[in-house]
Amino acid sequence: MIKKINSIIVLISLLISTYSLSQTGSSNPREKKNSVAGFYGKRFTLQLGGGLHHNSLLKLFSSYERDYRKRDYYDTYRKQVSTDQFNYSLYGTIGYVVGKRTTLSVDFNYYFGNLILSNYGSAGYYDNSGNYISISGVDGRVKYNTFRIMPRIEINSNSNSAQMGLVNILGIGVEMSKAKSGSYKVIEPYANYNGGIYTTDLKFPDKNAFSFTALYGLEYRIPISRNIGWNIGGYAHLNLPLTGIMKELNADSYVGLGYSTNWDNEIRYHLVKNRLQNVFSVRTGIVIML
């Protein structure tokens, strides 16, 4: 009788053990990691990093930039503003894993850029006495900042982990760009140009230029530990000026008895045009999983 009772107890124990394994999955730690959403079950993701590119990339897509570089004074001018040839960005991304391969995130990107202005500030008009007044403009490279906010969906290329490996990025958002007033080196190309470059203060309107932006990117994320990884990404984006602003920017303004360019609107036009011509970017940074 005792042997039969012991046999029943052993059988019950085996059944309980089998049931427990069926509920927890495989005893293999790697398989356990892959059986849940998130890297080792961690669903919250924070990314921090930055990007860098040179204006030579822009000339591949911008006829305006290419024409500027062909001007006689460009080589001399570039030597004096060499520090403005690079554009930078800082970014932060907050994400939450919603499936084994899928993450929803919001990306915040702050861009430090620069663009060229041609004959900026020029005007030609007749005054009240009938005399024609001509004001010479300047050429130069000036700085601007762009802030972008973009909801994104991230889809991993394999089913092992939503946050690590090769990740496809799709995003739609909005950009706000503003030129920075300050002291700049400029040149007057049409006013007795003799090769001289001088410094002057340029004042720009304290108004944003808005663009709608769509993005597709590929990020490769390398795990360093269970909580930290490293991200390298390349992105193609389309930055479309919003229609209402484009209509507003095409307007000229009266000066005396003639017309002159509305330069407050013109600088915003150049901003959205410059953003439209920025079609590719790269960035890298740390990935923190919580």
Strands 182-187 and 138-156: antiparallel
Domain ranges within the chain, ordered by starting residue: 1-35, 37-289
Element (H, E) at 26: none
pLDDT tens digits along 234-286 = 999 898 888 545 555 454 444 444 445 677 778 888 888 888 878 888 999 99
Strand partners, 286: 48, 230
pTM recorded for the entire structure: 0.75
- Give pLDDT, residue 12: 42
Encode pLDDT of 171-200 as tens digits. 999 999 999 999 988 887 665 455 578 888
Mean pLDDT of 33-58: 77
> Does 155 score more than 70 pLDDT?
yes
CA distances from 48 to 92, 95, 101, 176, 230 (A): 5, 12, 21, 21, 10
**Backbone Cα Rg of the chain:** 29
d(CA 244, CA 266): 15
Q: Residue 79: its pLDDT value, please?
A: 76
Q: What is the pLDDT of residue 14?
A: 43
CB proximity list for 253: less than 8 A, separation 6 or greater:
259, 260, 261, 262
State the pLDDT at residue 219. Answer: 94
User: Which stretches of the chain are DSSP H helices?
Assistant: 2-24, 29-34, 63-69, 74-80, 243-249, 263-277
Residues near 107 by Cβ (< 8 Å), separated by ≥ 6?
91, 92, 93, 148, 149, 150, 151, 152, 171, 173
Domain 37-289 has CATH 2.40.160.20: yes
Residue 27's pLDDT band (boundaries 50, 70, 90)?
A: very low
Instruction: Give whichever of 39-53, 121-135, 145-159 has the largest mean pLDDT.
Output: 145-159
Q: Are 47 and 96 in contact (CB under 8 A)?
A: no
Helix (H, G, I), strand (E, B) or coil at 83: helix
Q: What is the mean pLDDT of the chain?
A: 77
- CB of 138 within 8 A of CB of 121? yes
End-to-end CA distance of the chain: 55
Spatial separation of the C-alpha atoms in residues 21 and 18, rounded to whole Å: 5
- pLDDT higher for 111 or 140? 111
Instruction: Identify which has the larger pLDDT, 34 or 178.
Output: 178
Q: What confidence score (pLDDT) does residue 94 get? A: 96
Would the pLDDT of 26 be above 50? Answer: no
- Is 168's pLDDT higher than 70? yes
DSSP assigned state of 158: S
pLDDT at 16: 40
Residue 133 has pLDDT above 80, yes or no: no
Is the pLDDT confidence value at 80 over 90? no
CA distance 169 to 104: 10
Beta bridge partners of residue 169, listed in sequence order:
154, 217
Q: Is 59 helix (H, G, I), strand (E, B) or coil?
A: helix
Greatest mean pLDDT range, 31-35, 117-121, 157-161: 117-121
With bands split at pLDDT 50, 70 and 90, how would you rate the model's confidence at 73?
confident
pLDDT level of residue 24 (50, 70, 90 thresholds) = very low
Q: How far apart are CA 68 and CA 117, in angstroms?
A: 9
Percent of the chain residues topping a pLDDT of 90: 30
More confident residue, 192 or 210: 210
Four-point Cα dihedral 95, 287, 165, 111, nearest 10:
80
User: Is the predicted pLDDT of residue 122 greater than 80, yes or no?
Assistant: no
What number of residues does the chain have? Answer: 290
Q: Where does the pLDDT of residue 78 fall: very low under 50, low under 70, confident under 90, or very high at 90 and above?
A: confident
